[in-house]
Structure 1
């Protein structure tokens, strides 16, 4: 069976998984702030070593491609492309919202006709979101969305919607509808990437290493640096 290396860096949690067929051989994650660049390659090396695997034993490399953290996505996709270039392996790029939707399906019983709305924190009351049915068909559009009391109102009138991801907490005090199911404990993770990667392998849906880039949706916003000197001090 082929080994698949899965890399996920779209949010504050950095995670890596290695699958052999449907079996997850190894998994590692870290929620250390601003540490993706420090832990990602360390995780990959450790998981390979712990399972007596060489880099060339990996058949495919899958990576979350956004939206999400600009820096996190850049790190994850860059490392994945580096492995693919060095090992001459195919790259699979999977939207972050689709991975969260798969996480919801893996943890919650979704009935026919119910919808899934993965939400990724995009600062203040904004999220990156999309809408899927239980078969992961896109019903909505991948886009930034500002949460208001009228958000999702029309869809909630006709369908149960499962909100999940690290942006779902933003609607807790805003949306109050009987058809809203808010799962603040379901997050994106490399451990949910296998079925999505497997589907793309079967259809030979591989990324172009030279031209395909992460889905940022927004331009990078650098934080203002803190002043070196405190007020009144030199």
Structure 2
């Protein structure tokens, strides 16, 4: 029976959860801009305190690995790695888009069609991947610029539910009778529990020294235009 601290910072959500034996037992999170650096460690402490566990009682640290916000991922992964070093615990990396699909299935256990996780990558671009209801990956993680022709093959073959903060902006473009959209948030550390427990049970750990977030695209620094 494993006790795992779980961290999700890939989007605007700053989230920390404690899971025991694959089930979430504590959660502290908030959705807001630019709060990860100042709030994550506080959320972790509050989640830990609510369970009665000490940090030494943890068996592993799990972190949402991306893709997503460059800054958010850096904060989440660096915090997870720091805790792994300090506590001498293994690091588990959970694919962010798969975690989102797991969250959707947790809320919709009878669903039997495809799930398309989408994270906003600005303008009409999203980080995305397609899964079936068993969380089997149907298309690799990629950065896509969405048009009316996107996912046409998949939509012609059946229902696809688009989820995540990138889905809403794509809804006016993906006008297909088989397209469905969920407005719920699935970027939560609470949805990492099953995936993290499976990884722990298989000893699927990362090299703490060399692990980096899955950014998918290089970070590009832009300078605001002068008015």
Q: State the Cα distance separating 1:225 from its structure 2 match.
A: 5.1
Q: What SS is found at the alignment partner of 2:59? A: strand
Deviation string 1:101-123 (CA, Å, 9 cap, x unpaired) is 001111124544x2110000000
In 2, Cα distance between equivalents of 1:147 and 1:184: 18
Alignment of 1:96-135 (within 5 A): 96-112=96-112, 114-135=113-134
**Post-superposition offset of 1:3:** 1.1
Aligned to 2:18: 18
Please report the RMSD computed on the Cα atoms of aligned residues, expressed in angstroms.
1.6
For residues 137-157 of structure 1, the C-alpha deviation after alignment (integer angstroms, 9 at most, x for no partner) is 111010100010000011111
Deviation at 1:184, TM superposition (A): 1.9
CA distance in 1, matches of 2:157, 2:182: 20
Residue 178 of structure 1 aligns with which residue? 177
Q: How many residues align?
A: 227
Aligned to 2:204: 205
Are the equivalent residues in 1 in contact too, given 2:119–2:128 (CA < 8 A)? yes
Once residues 225 and 84 of structure 1 are traced to their aligned partners in structure 2, the CA distance between those partners, rounded to angstroms, is: 37
Task: Give 4+ residue runs of structure 1 displaced > 4 Å after superposition.
Answer: none
TM-score, length basis structure 2: 0.95
Q: Which ranges of structure 1 fall in alignment gaps of 5 or more residues? A: none
Q: What SS does structure 2 have at the residue aligned with 1:79?
A: helix
C-alpha distance 130-110 of structure 1, shift in aligned 2 (>3 A): farther
Give me the whole-angstrom Cα distance separating, in 2, the residues matched to 1:131 and 1:50: 35
| In structure 2, distance between residues paired with 1:134 and 1:191 | 19
2:51 corresponds in structure 1 to 51
1:144-195 CA distance string (max 9 Å, x none)? 0001000001111112111101101022111111211111223211011100
Is the radius of gyration larger for structure 1 or structure 2?
1
Aligned counterpart, 2:191: 192
Q: Which region of structure 1 is more displaced relative to structure 2, 140-149 or 154-163? A: 154-163
Q: Is 1:35 paired with 2:35?
A: yes
Compared with structure 1, are the counterparts of its residues 51 and 57 closer, same or farther at alpha carbon in structure 2 (3 Å cutoff)?
Answer: same
Q: 2:23·2:193 contact (CA, 8 Å) conserved in 1?
A: no
1:220 maps to 219
> What is the distance in 2 between the residues matched to 1:76 and 1:186?
18
Give the direction of change, closer, same or farther, for the CA distance of 1:138–1:53 in structure 2 (3 Å limit): same
Report the secondary structure of 1:97's partner residue: helix
Task: Please give the alpha-carbon distance, in whole angstroms, between the structure 2 residues aligned to 1:109 and 1:47.
Answer: 27
Give the alignment's TM-score, normalised by structure 1. Answer: 0.92
